[in-house]
Amino acid sequence: MTGITHHIPDSLLIAYAAGTLPKPFALVVAAHVSLCDECRARLAAHEAAGGAIIEQSAPETISESLRDRVLDALDNPFDMPAPHPRQGVYPGPVMEALKGRPPKWKRIGMGNRQCIIDHGAEGSVRLLWIAPGQAVPDHGHNGLELTLVLQGAFEDETGHFGPGDLEIADADLEHTPIAAEGAPCICLAATDAALKFNSFLPRVLQPLFRI
């Protein structure tokens, strides 16, 4: 997909490569990576670098299961189950999470809809369907929020987000996303339960880089 202007920062790609990202965020990262050549290339570089660091690390600094999992994945990159194909605007990882079925939309007022994909201790991830010109409804903003546009576009105080673009918001950002006119805006949105962005990233990076 071309025309993507809002990408995944390195800190999130590194956490994703290390397998330490909470599930809701990992799905958004996987969906963006499946659409974006640039982030796919950067992820491959981080996976290679992560493997080198893990191989050189003393075993006690990294849990054995994580070490084995990462090294296995690097040794057998093709030893994965066949991914679900993209369907319409829904990337393969989203179809995987939906078990190959189309989303079941529930009305949430103002002509908008949502489909909750996963909701648990690590946070939640859902699809949002926002009618053209409508404001994005309250979707929980306690900690970190990742929003990936799959169709249409939205705008807020920080910029314009079209198909493939990822917005990262934390509790400090007060924003009012409004769907653009034209096609309804369909987004994949993930939030964590209560963690704060600023403490979360160092925490997930610590086991890998010992910072």
Binding residues for Zn ion (CB under 5 A): 7, 36, 38-39, 145, 169
Nearer to Zn ion, 54 or 187 (CB): 187
Q: How many CB atoms lie within 10 A of CB 178?
A: 17
The least CB distance from residue 74 to Zn ion, in Å, is 22
Nearer to Zn ion, 50 or 164 (CB): 164
The least CB distance from residue 29 to Zn ion, in Å, is 10
If we measure between CA atoms, which residue out of 164, 169, 141 comes closest to residue 153?
A: 164
The least CB distance from residue 140 to Zn ion, in Å, is 8
The least CB distance from residue 81 to Zn ion, in Å, is 24
Nearer to Zn ion, 7 or 46 (CB): 7
The least CB distance from residue 139 to Zn ion, in Å, is 6
Nearer to Zn ion, 60 or 174 (CB): 174
Nearer to Zn ion, 189 or 208 (CB): 189
